[in-house]
Chains A and B, each alone.
Chain A
Amino acid sequence: MDENRHTRFLFTRRAVLETATATAALCAGLPQVALAVGPVDAETSPVPVTVELQINGHPHVLRLDPRTTLLDALREHLALTGTKKGCDHGQCGACTVLLDGRRINSCLTLAAMHDGQPITTIEGLADGETLHPLQAAFVAHDGFQCGYCTAGQICSAVGMLNESRMGMPSYVTESLALARPELTDAEIRERMSGNICRCAAYPNIVAAIRQAAGGPA
């Protein structure tokens, strides 16, 4: 039941995205400045950089103002708007993506720094129509209210579970000698502290991650 509801939701989102992409294509003939982000500095015109981003397994060659963050490249140049801009200063985690499988804040890194590197966004997690286990768990546990932080929460949780499987410790890990610290609720909360949810869906987010990690639902 929950699955069906989510599938419908996905279709709706996809339709919106396709429309947005089509609109972007129609606008392709317009001057590039129409798509530029932020004020353009008139004193010095930046030398553009060419970068090939490997997003969700697909190469994208972009010619960018060097100031373009990875987040803005995704949202404004590739219409991958699943990744959200919250604070734009690395404080909220809404922009979390996976760089070579590791979670990072896409707002605090330049697209130019990631030429040729594999990046996974929320759009790249599902396998066709089959949700990623963490996406399914967030739906099952209602791990959101407004949903704005959700893409970042889910990408962060994917990275966090990788870190946990590799045995990385956290600030609350009792003993640094443990090869693989147990993923208690306290561990999940500490490891997810870089993702803020202003609706405070935290109990359900923790429950979703606990389930996806293989713990009790």
Chain B
Amino acid sequence: MKAFTYDRADSAVHAAAASARPGAKLIAGGTNLLDLMKLQVETPTELIDINRLPLDKIEDTADGGLRIGATVRNSDLAADHRVRERYGVLSRALLAGASAQLRNRATTGGNLLQRTRCSYFYDVTKPCNKRNPGSGCAALGGFNRMHAVLGASDQCIAANPSDMAVALRVLDADVETVNAEGEVRVIPIAEFHRLPGRTPEVDTTLKAGEIITAVTLPPPPPGVQIYRKVRDRASYAFALVSVAAIVELSAGGIRSARLAFGGLAPKPWRVPQAEERLAGASADAKTFDAVATAVLDGAHGYGSNDFKIPLTRRTLRAVLMQAART
């Protein structure tokens, strides 16, 4: 680890101001940041600890939703009775991620800001445009089994590793931030993570000197909530493909559906056209196939990850069949 100074923030605004200084980084759970610092992928010169800020509450909102503080731990969020009762897809997604020890430290804000687990991003001896802009992408012609098949660019094919963010995407969550001037901004989750394009080093639309204070959930939409994760091990592994679904059934089939995907893209992936195909459709194999085709529009494998395309098709069909049975 490179040397750094350590300080504690006494308010979110102070933390936001401090984080704008060159070389400064905020630390909450630290489960991803310290890992990256040990490998010198991240080399902050100043760490600002935000663990003692009063951002660790889950509160009901006036419209019947929830406001989740940025430092609420992943395990506490997954176990919260309101989340279990009304946002099961979020509870399930959180419990599908990492290990119990990591979930006890990892925070809501930190989960959204975690970096890709692309092995070339982690290996400082290899070119990586995300870690070292302009150096190239070793994953393009390398071992890219875990990488994106949608939304990637010729500069970067890294996938977003979060399970939680996939559930937040299907729930249409908002990310609340504050800056050094105390100005609050609300970023829809759809706009929070960005595609790599020509600047893969920028993961999110968060500005310098802006800190996440909370994530808000609107009231849950009607329908059964499912989170299904396919991975190399039964537990404690990143998704090859994951599907977050909220499906509302009608007498003859499906009334409405929302689908978000993990493991496939640099951000949690949603395709409105695919969801529109499900609205008012019958719950049969033909429908599910057409929906999968719409989801995978433009999908492109890079060799070792070609399998993700048929795997997504099959996983989606399994999820929709499960939804239709309930």
In the complex, what residue of chain A is closest to B84 when comparing beta carbons?
Answer: A176
Report yes or no: A109 in contact with B100, Cβ–Cβ below 8 A: no
Report yes or no: B34 in contact with A110, Cβ–Cβ below 8 A: yes
> Given A110-B34, A113-B27, A113-B51: A190 and B104 within 8 A (CB)?
no
Q: Mark A89-106, 1 if CB is under 8 A from B, else 0.
A: 110010010010011110
Report yes or no: A159 in contact with B100, Cβ–Cβ below 8 A: yes
Report yes or no: A108 in contact with B34, Cβ–Cβ below 8 A: yes
The reply to whether the CB of A76 lies closer than 8 angstroms to some CB of chain B is: no
Report yes or no: B101 in contact with A103, Cβ–Cβ below 8 A: yes
Size category of the binding interface on chain B: 35 or more
CB distance from A111 to the nearest CB of B (A): 10
Report yes or no: A93 in contact with B6, Cβ–Cβ below 8 A: no
Q: Is chain A's binding surface mostly helix, strand, loop or mixed? A: loop
> Given A38-B1, A176-B88: A90 and B100 within 8 A (CB)?
no
Report yes or no: A103 in contact with B104, Cβ–Cβ below 8 A: yes
Residues of chain A within 8 A of B62, CB atoms compared:
none
In the complex, what residue of chain B is closest to A114 when comparing beta carbons?
Answer: B51
In the complex, what residue of chain A is closest to B49 when comparing beta carbons?
Answer: A113
Report yes or no: A93 in contact with B84, Cβ–Cβ below 8 A: no
The reply to whether the CB of B45 lies closer than 8 angstroms to some CB of chain A is: yes
The reply to whether the CB of B314 lies closer than 8 angstroms to some CB of chain A is: no
In the complex, what residue of chain A is closest to B33 when comparing beta carbons?
Answer: A108
Report yes or no: B5 in contact with A103, Cβ–Cβ below 8 A: no
Q: In chain B, residues 97-127, which have Cβ atoms closer than 8 Å to a Cβ of chain A?
A: 98-102, 104-105
Contact of A46 among B4, B34, B35, B88 (CB under 8 A): B4
Report yes or no: A193 in contact with B102, Cβ–Cβ below 8 A: no
The reply to whether the CB of B71 lies closer than 8 angstroms to some CB of chain A is: no
Report yes or no: B95 in contact with A171, Cβ–Cβ below 8 A: yes
Report yes or no: A89 in contact with B47, Cβ–Cβ below 8 A: no
CB distance from A149 to the nearest CB of B (A): 13
Residues of chain A within 8 A of B100, CB atoms compared:
103, 156, 159-160, 163, 170, 191-194
The reply to whether the CB of B63 lies closer than 8 angstroms to some CB of chain A is: no
Report yes or no: A89 in contact with B84, Cβ–Cβ below 8 A: no
Report yes or no: A90 in contact with B31, Cβ–Cβ below 8 A: yes
In the complex, what residue of chain B is closest to A186 when comparing beta carbons?
Answer: B234
Q: Mark B25-48, 1 if CB is under 8 A from A, else 0.
A: 001001100110010000001010
Contact of B105 among A41, A108, A163, A190 (CB under 8 A): A108
Q: Mark A155-195, 1 if CB is under 8 A from B, else 0.
A: 01001100100111111010011000000000001111111
Contact of B101 among A41, A66, A189, A194 (CB under 8 A): A194
CB distance from A148 to the nearest CB of B (A): 17
> Given A44-B45, A156-B100: A170 and B5 within 8 A (CB)?
no
Interface centre among A49, A102, A192 (most CB of B within 10 A): A102
Report yes or no: B84 in contact with A169, Cβ–Cβ below 8 A: yes
Q: How far is the CA of A46 from the CA of B45 in the complex (A)?
A: 9
Please give the residue numbers on chain B whose beta carbons come within 8 Å of chain A beta carbons, in ascending order: 1-6, 27, 30-31, 34-35, 38, 45, 47, 49, 51, 75, 78-79, 84-85, 88, 91-92, 95-96, 98-102, 104-105, 234-236
Instruction: Given contact pairs A47-B5, A102-B75, A112-B6, enumerate 11 new A-B contacts (beta carbons under 8 Å).
Output: A41-B2, A67-B3, A102-B104, A110-B6, A112-B49, A113-B30, A113-B49, A173-B95, A176-B88, A177-B85, A195-B99
Give me 20 A-to-B residue pairs in the complex whose CB atoms sit less than 8 angstroms apart, sorted by A's number: A47-B6, A66-B5, A69-B34, A88-B38, A89-B38, A90-B99, A102-B75, A104-B105, A105-B31, A108-B31, A112-B49, A156-B100, A169-B95, A176-B84, A176-B92, A177-B84, A192-B100, A193-B234, A193-B235, A194-B101
